[in-house]
Structure 1
Amino acid sequence: MDPDNDLQAAVDRLMDGLTSDLERLAAIPSVAFPGFPAGPVQEAHDLLVGLLREVGVERIERIDLPDTAPVIFGEIPPPTPDAPTVLLYSHYDVQPPGDESLWRSPPFEPTPVEEAGGGGLRARGIADDKSNVIAHLGMLRVFGGRPPVGVKIVFEGQEEYGSPFDGYPPTDAERFACDAMVIADLGNLRPGTPTLTTGLRGAAEVTVEVRTLQEPRHSGEFGGAAPDALLVLLKALATLHDVHGDVAVDGLRREQWTGTSYTEDEFRDLAGVTDDLPLLGSGTLGERLWSGPAITVIGIDAPTVDGAASAVVPYARAKLNLRFHPKQDPVEAQELLVRHLRALKPFGVPLTVTPGDTGPGYEASTGGPAYRAARTALKEAWGTEASYVATGGSIPLVNGLAQAAPDAEVLLFGAQDSMCNLHAPNERVLFSELRATVVAMCAFVREYAADFKGAGS
């Protein structure tokens, strides 16, 4: 097959096979969480190894690390000494299905959905991230297993739960050395809008505790003077945001967002915020979601309402999730929150503040030949100029790969879209997005190979 003659037609001829393979892969409940069987994860691994062999990938290895599912590593050497090497990443594990009563069809029975753009399929993990695994395979099929660039393939098996693989690439840098990498674990801002994600917010966790009494005391006899641990905690938490809902912790970085963002109506629909409620914070949505901080109380320990006694609460605890600017140091960001809380003594009561896990953000450099090729490729695939967005979520492995190949350009795009219900019931992928992603990946390696050679790299 010669994709140079008509790339779009070449992809169209392969779409039936690609969607069939996507259905096979999505039917496997490859949940790599504790308490779930390991067999389906291995089954998905084996299916992908077979598909890679069928497309002509001769060097396929298995990376086994403690307490994690196997990582598939494949390699196709560059066709010529002056051709670049591109690393392709995605993952074959999925989130648990959650409450299956909320699904319109069984989560591991891929089911057709009717939406604009020719429909799609519904299943757990079909967008995040099995569609992108198949898009990588689609690119290789279009070129008959011999693309115009060298290829390194990394298909992870335990991304959703997290694993030691996040920090592994810098310890084996030669294996992951490349000129550019396509991290296909994201997608478009909305269907039909080609999108390059250029920033990932970092994340940190902090726990804050209050203990005031040895045990509960009658609220009628002691309330009003005995220090209430829950009131102390709530007063402390209330200092984290100002009257507008913006984060009020000094030093956390916030900058104007200059890329594309959701409309307010889109965001309300995605977040499930009704029109009668305000959105928190001030400034653009891009600032609030991507280039500024967010602090969320993700858990609180206190007496339940149904079992509450008329007593002063002696102990309360909250867990906070901090998201911060892609370029802010994670230890610094966490320490700023810890310092803010430790400086407080609500009603004169000290707080016990414990830092938890941190994860760095990432901001891509967008001025190199890979980004030039990507912008051309996405426009060819979707028919319009690519937009830049960021995401409040984090992909820890991106930093590990970037450390292993510090000079490589990092591109984040794929077949998902923001309306695909990833991690939620009724996750779906659109055939139009899958097709365009395959076209984009093919056009990217074609353009990048030409630009790379033309620049004499």
Structure 2
Amino acid sequence: MNTADLGLSYLIKLSRMTDADPSASTTEQTLDQSIAGAVVGGLPAAITDLGRLVRIPSVSWPAFDPAHVAESADAVAGLLRDTGVFDRVEVKQAQKAGFPDGELGHPAVLATRAAKNGRPTVLLYAHHDVQPPGDEASWQTKPFEPTVVGDRLYGRGAADDKAGVVSHVAAIRALAETVPADELELGLAVFIEGEEEHGSHSFVNFLEDNREALAADAIVVADSDNWDTETPNLTVALRGACAFNLTVSTLGHASHSGMWGGAAPDAMLATIKLLSTLWDENGSVAVAGLTSHDAETPPFDEAELAASAAFVDGVRAIGTGSVLSRLWFQPSITVTGIDAPSIANASNTLVPSVTVRISMRVAPGQTSDDARDALLAHLTAHAPFGARLDFHDFEGGDPFLVDANGWAAQAAKQAMTDAWGTPPVEAGIGGSIPFIADLVRVFPDAQILVTGVEDPDTRAHSPNESLHLGVFKRAILTEALLLARLNQRS
């Protein structure tokens, strides 16, 4: 089934709306019902728009054609203009931080409308760039051909994060359809980034260049997931990130392994011994100076972990403490790549140098810089055989903790409860959204809400990425209810 045919078949199936709150006023109930009707009525168009965006292969990595990212930005700008609610919609670029010659980042979209009569302003964030498709042979459908199978829409970016983009657009459409133009006084800014999947290198400069236009009382970041397809998340904790390349060198050139093996230290041996010091016998991180965050976690056992992470038969979990504390509140270190001779090119020589990519997740409560310094000190202190270490190509971002008691968080949780029919889980995320720390720094008074359209079966970044269409509908409804209610807030 293609996206153009989808709306009619799902209109009734996805139209469930919870009963109105009996304590709410008649006016509030009428507004909620009108918003729900507008969301359901607009769902076919939203799914069709999402399908059109998925067809644009907007991969922001250097090896891919940047024209596709520009095409995607133009398409998103068109969707926002067509809502008719914005004073200004622009496609803009900013200079990459730390890059020479004033190199610009990929195009982003900025749409704004001013608040009136003391109403708050809400900034809506998502990103329109996507991950590379990877091995297309691993996909059950074509990665850039949106395809519906059962309740899910498959395609690269179908969930991460073009569904976030379209959920913003669809919520604004429902708001504009329901609230008369002369009564729509909520301030809105929409920032759709074009390079989140490749480091957000121009993000900080974009914030600084457009600080006044982006200033808001609440910021909704639609780039996270949900507990399951029937239960929403409000993400209240994110681990930070630090990644870098490490080159381990022991020899000036390759040497015959028969002539010198057993006495001359090769770089592969040194690298393996050095990396093995990063974890203890349980697989927990064993680096002095890295900290953990102490907080309660919902029930989630190791059998659920094994199923969700697709353990091979016989494999056991690593680490100690509750499963979710390991994923949300403890540091982790992963070697994500190795540059070394392939087996096909494995001659009988001692390897002079090896380069690995090390990725660390930083627990809430510790800065990325402090964690990085602790890890570099550990590696330097444990270098075997006097091996020379070279660290380069650093990236990083701080962790994030949300105050879920603020007025915006309370409004968001109520909107989730009404749209989904069940209260949200206040959940941590093991992954990182490093730019949130920049939002906190530039807009310290704004309340930040991290929401999303993903679920445990989304497989973001992997082959067969997909969006659950029921989750999509409820995410749109949540945001539309939130915006409509904030439009009535002084």
TM > 0.5 between the two?
A: yes
> Are 1:86 and 2:108 an aligned pair?
no
1:345 shift after superposition = 4.2
Residue of structure 2 equivalent to 1:401: 439
> Are 1:36 and 2:58 an aligned pair?
no
Residue of structure 2 equivalent to 1:24: 52
Aligned-pair identity in percent equals 36
**How many angstroms apart in 1 are the aligned matches of 2:461 and 2:165?**
17
**How many angstroms apart in 2 are the aligned matches of 1:217 and 1:40?**
46
What code does the residue aligned with 1:26 have?
V
Deviations 1:98-122 (A, max 9, x none): 21122222222111111xxxx1311
> Are 1:104 and 2:136 an aligned pair?
no
Counterpart contact for 1:28–1:108, Cα < 8 Å:
yes
**How many angstroms apart in 2 are the aligned matches of 1:33 and 1:337?**
27
> Are 1:121 and 2:150 an aligned pair?
no
Gaps of 5+ in 1: none
Deviations 1:367-416 (A, max 9, x none): 21001101101111111111122223222322222222111010011222
Alignment of 1:342-357 (within 5 A): 342-346=380-384, 348-354=385-391, 356-357=394-395
Change (3 A) 1:261 1:22: farther
Change (3 A) 1:232 1:360: same
> Are 1:75 and 2:116 an aligned pair?
no
TM-score by length of 1: 0.91
1:45 corresponds to which of 65, 70, 73: 73
> Are 1:143 and 2:175 an aligned pair?
yes
**3-state SS in 1 of match to 2:68:** helix
Alignment of 1:78-227 (within 5 A): 78=115, 80-114=116-150, 119-144=151-176, 147=184, 149-168=186-205, 169-227=207-265
Change (3 A) 1:420 1:217: same
2:364 corresponds to which of 306, 314, 326: 326
Counterpart contact for 2:250–2:387, Cα < 8 Å:
no
Deviations 1:345-382 (A, max 9, x none): 42x42441425222222222222100110110111111
Count of residues in correspondence between the two structures: 445
**How many angstroms apart in 2 are the aligned matches of 1:215 and 1:244?**
37
What code does the residue aligned with 1:387 have?
V
**How many angstroms apart in 2 are the aligned matches of 1:46 and 1:239?**
49
Gaps of 5+ in 2: 1-29, 96-103
1:318 shift after superposition = 2.6
What code does the residue aligned with 2:145 have?
E
> Are 1:391 and 2:429 an aligned pair?
yes
Change (3 A) 1:238 1:4: closer
Between stretches 18-27 and 157-166, larger displacement belongs to 157-166
Counterpart contact for 1:195–1:389, Cα < 8 Å:
yes
**How many angstroms apart in 1 are the aligned matches of 2:201 and 2:421?**
40
**3-state SS in 2 of match to 1:418:** coil
**How many angstroms apart in 2 are the aligned matches of 1:322 and 1:354?**
14
**How many angstroms apart in 1 are the aligned matches of 2:299 and 2:87?**
42
Residue of structure 2 equivalent to 1:283: 321
Between stretches 67-76 and 126-135, larger displacement belongs to 67-76
1:221 shift after superposition = 4.2
What code does the residue aligned with 1:130 have?
K
**How many angstroms apart in 2 are the aligned matches of 1:96 and 1:307?**
27
What code does the residue aligned with 1:132 have?
G
What code does the residue aligned with 1:408 have?
A
**3-state SS in 1 of match to 2:477:** helix
What code does the residue aligned with 1:82 have?
G
1:432 shift after superposition = 0.6
**How many angstroms apart in 2 are the aligned matches of 1:131 and 1:448?**
23
1:262 shift after superposition = 4.9
Q: Give me the CA root mean square deviation.
A: 2.2
Counterpart contact for 1:344–1:351, Cα < 8 Å:
no
What code does the residue aligned with 1:89 have?
Y
Change (3 A) 1:4 1:234: closer
1:420 shift after superposition = 0.8
Counterpart contact for 2:234–2:425, Cα < 8 Å:
yes
Counterpart contact for 2:58–2:130, Cα < 8 Å:
yes
